[in-house]
A and B are shown apart, each in its own frame.
Chain A
Amino acid sequence: MLNIRRETIISYAFIERNFNLLKRYLNWEILFFSYSIVNALTIGLIMVGRGSSQDVLYLVIGALIWGFLSIMMREVSDAITWERWEGTIEYTFMAPIYRITHLVGSCLFAILYGLLRTGLVLAIMPLFFGEHIDLGSANWITMGVTVAVSSLSFIGIGLMAAIFPLLSPEKGQAATGILQSVLLLISGIYYEIEVLPDWLQPFSIISPATYTLRSIRAAMLENASVQSQAENLLLLLVIGIVLIPLGFWVFHIAERYAKRVGRLKRSG
């Protein structure tokens, strides 16, 4: 029988461990953070002098939200990769914990870390863009609800991506990168999906990033209410409800396979 209190405490082990790792690799964090700022700046600056403030904000939102969603997708997968490299995965898999507890812990860290990093980058943006970044008319409630609902879908995708490093740490990271770049292409992160070739456009319908970007842009550029985004949010919720159990199931199958063929061991 699942003891929710016990499992919540155990989930915290993964959050604490990852924040401890983050502290120890602070130099890398500063590097990643600087990269996120430079990335958002270079993309936003494309429109300064060419388009309106709305256009600048359109691109900056794309860069920030893509950064956040990428963290959601990658963090669970990276945690597995890290454990494979360090050889600790055998000890985690040997511990008396449910896999759902393990993965929920990693997902919660991804959400907290993603919010923290994206929030800091967003806070810095007005220093560079000045009047081009006007967040006065943004609907923060719609944005918050969209981020919360879309996190579910991206955690589902992250769980599925985590099977790649579980089976092969070297090839796994590359496979996760490919999955991520396909989503970047089809989801209208920096452009409207209508500009995609006709044959690519249907793929954008199944990407949760498409609906996330639409609602967040509507919230930040047009002060759209939650009600006005109900259709997008419902779609995101449905995708999340489908992807999360699917992600757990796929991970379970991959774990059984890894235990059958002996893929968990590093050496010895």
Chain B
Amino acid sequence: MVQEKVKQPVYGLTVRGVKKHFHRRKKTEEKLRFHQKIRHWLKREKETIRAVDGISLDVSIGEIYGILGANGSGKSTLIRLISTLLLPDAGSIHVFGDDVVTNSMKVRRVMNRVSVEASFFKRLSSAENLIYAARLYGISAAEANKKARNILERLGFEAKRMDGEMEQLSRGMQQKVAIARALLTTPMLLLLDEPTTGLDPKSKRDVQAFIEEIRNERNAVIVLTTHDMVEAEKLCDRIAIIDNGKFIAEGTVKELIAKVPPKDNSPVTLEDVFIALTGKDLEEGEE
């Protein structure tokens, strides 16, 4: 297949009109009798979930782009589309000019992701998990060990705990190992899908400080999804607010705040903007 290249200017990440709809069997809340259940099953009524519904965005090299959204708004689906784990129904996604569908192997080489769930082989040690992950990127065990120790120490993770089983670690510790796994491969595109959700305050601060360090150290493209307003305000150069699979606002914190008139002379916060634009409270639930 001929590889499509995006014309200048080349952003680190370009998303154009991406859609991802899921078709699921309709569930009924009613209590059905056996024959009604069979009839319902035979009808096979389906509903369409518009998880991502025509999203476009551009992220420049060296930028942290935040995506702020409530539970089920489509943040994680968008991240999965970028990370080649889902195929888009429509639209295109390019990472450093390469299409994620037609040139997925090249894209995967320059990208990594941290998800809200720190997924690991729980009975293996952190070191074993990290060496396995690094080998998949062609990194030797010795190099992976050295790099992992360095990253984990910077994250406030004691290196001596690397040989203990993952299931013995707290959620915060596991998330730090997940961040080390992503950074071992020196990705040019780093997708952080709610990396601090559920972490204790100290771990949260450690992770946030490290994200800032990465931004300052190297010209990577970072996409951060979150429902933490303070985190978004602190870390992101630009923020998009996502609701029902659509971006309903995008800009710097200043630009977003300017969209909402102040009430009772009190300054407008990012939370006020979010509630005013979506009619939802971010605390309602977590994705």
Listed in ascending order, the chain A residues whose CB lies under 8 Å from chain B are 6, 9-10, 12-13, 16-17, 20-21, 24-25, 82, 86-88, 90-98, 256, 259-262, 264-268
Q: How far is the CB of A215 from chain B (nearest CB, A)?
A: 37
Interface pair A21/B124, CB less than 8 Å apart: yes
Interface pair B136/A95, CB less than 8 Å apart: yes
Partner-binding segment picked from B7-15, B108-116, B245-253: B108-116
Interface pair A86/B132, CB less than 8 Å apart: no
Q: How far is the CB of A91 from chain B (nearest CB, A)?
A: 6
Interface pair A90/B87, CB less than 8 Å apart: no
Question: In the complex, what residues of B have CB within 8 A of residue A25's CB?
Answer: 123
Contact with A along B164-181 (1 / 0, CB 8 A): 010000000000000001
A and B contact pairs by CB, cutoff 8 A, 30 listed: A6-B138, A9-B135, A10-B135, A10-B138, A12-B135, A13-B135, A13-B136, A16-B131, A16-B132, A20-B128, A86-B119, A88-B119, A90-B85, A91-B113, A93-B84, A93-B85, A94-B83, A94-B85, A96-B106, A96-B109, A96-B137, A260-B87, A261-B23, A262-B20, A262-B80, A265-B76, A265-B85, A266-B117, A268-B76, A268-B116
**Shortest Cβ distance from A14 into B: residue:** B132
A176 to B181, CA, bound (A): 32
Question: In the complex, what residues of B have CB within 8 A of residue A265's CB?
Answer: 76, 80, 85
Task: With A10-B135, A259-B84, A262-B20 given, name 15 new contacts (CB 8 A).
Answer: A16-B135, A17-B128, A20-B124, A20-B132, A21-B121, A21-B123, A24-B123, A24-B165, A88-B121, A90-B85, A93-B85, A94-B113, A96-B108, A268-B76, A268-B117
Question: In the complex, what residues of A have CB within 8 A of residue B287's CB?
Answer: 268
A67 to B128, CA, bound (A): 29
Question: In the complex, what residues of A have CB within 8 A of residue B22's CB?
Answer: 261-262
Interface pair B86/A86, CB less than 8 Å apart: no
Question: In the complex, what residues of B have CB within 8 A of residue A13's CB?
Answer: 132, 135-136
Question: CB < 8 Å: which of B77, B119, B131 contacts A90?
Answer: B119
Question: In the complex, what residues of B have CB within 8 A of residue A21's CB?
Answer: 121, 123-124
A260 to B124, CA, bound (A): 31
Residue among B80, B113, B116 having the largest count of chain A Cβ atoms under 10 Å: B80
The count of residues in chain B whose C-beta lies closer than 8 Å to any C-beta of chain A is: 40
Question: In the complex, what residues of B have CB within 8 A of residue A267's CB?
Answer: 117
Question: CB < 8 Å: which of A97, A260, A266 contacts B119?
Answer: A266
Question: In the complex, what residues of B have CB within 8 A of residue A16's CB?
Answer: 131-132, 135
Interface residue? B122 (CB, 8 A): yes
Question: In the complex, what residues of B have CB within 8 A of residue A259's CB?
Answer: 84-87
Interface residue? B193 (CB, 8 A): yes
Q: How far is the CB of B234 from chain A (nearest CB, A)?
A: 23
Interface residue? B120 (CB, 8 A): yes
Residue among B123, B181, B194 having the largest count of chain A Cβ atoms under 10 Å: B123
Question: CB < 8 Å: which of A17, A87, A93, A95 contacts B117?
Answer: A87
A183 to B200, CA, bound (A): 52
**Shortest Cβ distance from B119 into A: residue:** A87
Q: How far is the CB of B265 from chain A (nearest CB, A)?
A: 40
A185 to B80, CA, bound (A): 43
Question: CB < 8 Å: which of A86, A95, A96, A266 contacts B120?
Answer: A86
